[in-house]
Amino acid sequence: MESSANLIESFSLFKDDKNIDKTTLMSIIEDVFRNMLIKKFGSDKNFDIIVNPDKGDVEIYKNRKIVDDEFAEDSFDYDENKHISFSDAQKIEPDFEIGEDLSERVKLEDFGRRAVLSVRQNLVQKILELQKSEIYNKYKEKVGDVITAEVYQVWKKEIMLMDDEGNELLLPKTEQIPSDFFKKGDTVKAVVSKVDLKNGTPSIIVSRTSPVFLERLFETEVPEIFDGLITIKKIVREPGERAKVAVESYDDRIDPVGACVGMKGSRIHGIVRELKNENIDVINFTTNTQLLIQRSLSPAKITSIKLDETNHRADVFLKPDQISLAIGKGGYNIKLAGKLTGYEIDVYRDTDTEVDTEDVDLDEFADEIENDVLDKLKSIGCDTAKSVLELSVSELTRRTGIEEEVIEEVRSILEAEFEG
């Protein structure tokens, strides 16, 4: 019968699924068939169902006790699901005797085409639900783990990945490093960041921008971290641009920063490459806040720090040539230093006199003053508005070679900044 063949085929489709536990699969299949028996016979108590997971088929046996013909014809206790008359039993096998148990195989065809099709639909539905549930549970336990998957489809806002078992994973644009570019068939490494069930279907989100991804990469490349000899205290990232990693060693003989970087950068090189040349600063963690801020602003050299521990603010004073290093390209260095230390950091130009917090950096006037003029002023140490205004027109002209008219125009622009 075609419908019964389709039923067995439905079972066979799932028998080798790696996401489904074989015992659970057999239990679901048995439950579906027992429901079919109850609908047809009113009860499933005298039936044995044997599921053969390796063959991908099901055997059903109806168990009845052989009774004499008189009991079968006249007794109110006779139940055709529990009993079979002696004469009917002999038709099956002449050697049977009254009182014996008879086990007879029930063919799927006996249930009728519609019943078999209904069972097939229920079976497929329940196994798909089980499959989704198993995938959800599997990946729920993998949150925080790095996986490698293949790009299956690329969309504008996200990429669909496929793991080696055919499960679908999503890498949203927001979880991609800005310079990431993937095409169908590419292999992608990412960390499992979020697993949800949406309308019964598992939604698995992976990330390449999460600090956890960088942490796992360090665990892979640095054996001392994997073994617990070095601990990563905190990671902050601006994906694809810069990251800061604070590490601590519990063994005085181990230099945590040196171990993470490796000989000639051998260990960190692979991580940097995976993160599209993200600049990674590894710093030695300390509970000394001032020292931690100083280390986090590396490579800038700090003159002094004024802490406001109540409001978690830090005023950092640096020599003029160190300010741009502290701020870093795109402001990422100071931004990440603030995240790492938990302090809002402001940098100030350190001079022999008291620092003027109301001064303005010359670069702020790039829209009004020519770049070559700004460069000449900065070349003589005048990198703020007030440092220019402190010198006379003649002194500025002599030291920079800029025409007097231009100097006067520059001073007018700078003075306007402080008027009112």
Q: E-assigned strands of 33-166? A: 47-52, 57-67, 83-85, 101-106, 146-154, 158-162
Taking the CA atoms of 369, 373, 376 and 382 in sequence, report the sign of the dihedral they define: negative
Tell me, yes or no, whether 113 and 46 share the same domain: yes
Tell me, yes or no, whether 336 and 368 share the same domain: no
Alpha-carbon distance of 364 to 388, in angstroms, equals 14
Tell me, yes or no, whether 125 and 21 share the same domain: yes
Could you give the residue ranges of the DSSP H alpha helices within 239-370?
256-261, 266-274, 289-296, 320-327, 332-341
Tell me, yes or no, whether 130 and 147 share the same domain: no
Query: What local confidence, expressed as pLDDT, does residue 13 receive?
Result: 60
**Closest C-alpha to 36, from 107, 109, 118:** 118
Return the CATH number at 61.
3.30.1480
Domain termination residue (choose one: 163, 184, 209):
209
- 136-157 in b/e burial notation, b at 16+ Cβ within 10 A? bebbeeeeeebbebbbeeeeee
- Rg of the chain over Cα atoms, rounded to whole angstroms, equals 38
Return the CATH number at 325.
3.30.300.20
In a domain, 259, yes or no: no
In a domain, 275, yes or no: no
Give pLDDT tens digits along the chain (420 positions). Answer: 444 445 556 666 665 665 666 777 778 888 888 888 888 888 888 888 888 766 667 888 889 888 888 887 777 777 787 888 888 888 888 888 888 888 888 887 777 778 778 878 888 888 888 888 889 999 999 999 999 999 999 999 999 999 998 999 999 999 999 999 999 999 999 999 999 988 889 999 999 999 999 999 999 999 999 999 999 999 999 999 999 999 999 888 899 999 999 998 999 999 999 999 999 999 999 999 999 999 999 889 999 999 999 999 998 888 878 888 888 888 899 999 999 999 999 888 776 545 456 778 888 888 889 988 988 888 776 788 887 887 778 768 877 889 999 999 999 988 888 775
Tokens at 402, concatenated? 């800029």
**Closest C-alpha to 327, from 319, 337, 339:** 337
In a domain, 174, yes or no: yes
Domain termination residue (choose one: 209, 240, 257):
209
DSSP 105: E
Angle at 307 (CA atoms; ends 303, 313), nearest 5 degrees: 115
Domain termination residue (choose one: 98, 115, 137):
137
In a domain, 276, yes or no: no
Alpha-carbon distance of 128 to 26, in angstroms, equals 14
Tell me, yes or no, whether 10 and 105 share the same domain: yes
First to last CA, the chain: 96
Do residues 91 and 59 make contact, with C-beta atoms less than 8 angstroms apart? no
Q: What is the pTM of this model?
A: 0.66
User: Exposed/middle/buried for 119, CB within 10 Å: 0-12, 13-18, 19+?
Assistant: buried
Tell me, yes or no, whether 130 and 194 share the same domain: no
Do residues 285 and 247 make contact, with C-beta atoms less than 8 angstroms apart? yes
Per the structure, the count of domains in the chain is: 4
Taking the CA atoms of 226, 230, 232 and 237 in sequence, report the sign of the dihedral they define: negative
Which three-class secondary structure state does DSSP give residue 219? helix
Tell me, yes or no, whether 345 and 398 share the same domain: no
Do residues 65 and 82 make contact, with C-beta atoms less than 8 angstroms apart? yes
3-state secondary structure 150-197: EEEEECCCEEEEECCCCCEEEEEHHHCCCCCCCCCCCEEEEEEEEEEE
In a domain, 67, yes or no: yes
Residue 350 CA to chain centroid, in angstroms? Answer: 43
Alpha-carbon distance of 74 to 55, in angstroms, equals 44
Return the CATH number at 150.
2.40.50.140
Tell me, yes or no, whether 40 and 105 share the same domain: yes
Query: What local confidence, expressed as pLDDT, does residue 2 receive?
Result: 42
CA distances from 121 to 22, 94, 117, 135 (A): 20, 40, 6, 21
> How are beta strands 279-284 and 242-249 bridged, if at all?
parallel
Tell me, yes or no, whether 146 and 124 share the same domain: no
7 backbone dihedrals φ, ψ, rounded to 5° = -65, -45
Tell me, yes or no, whether 51 and 123 share the same domain: yes
- CB atoms under 10 Å from CB of 177, counted, come to 19
Query: What local confidence, expressed as pLDDT, does residue 123 receive?
Result: 80
Tell me, yes or no, whether 55 and 150 share the same domain: no
Query: What local confidence, expressed as pLDDT, does residue 3 receive?
Result: 45
* Domain encompassing residue 87: 2-137
Residue 359 CA to chain centroid, in angstroms? Answer: 44
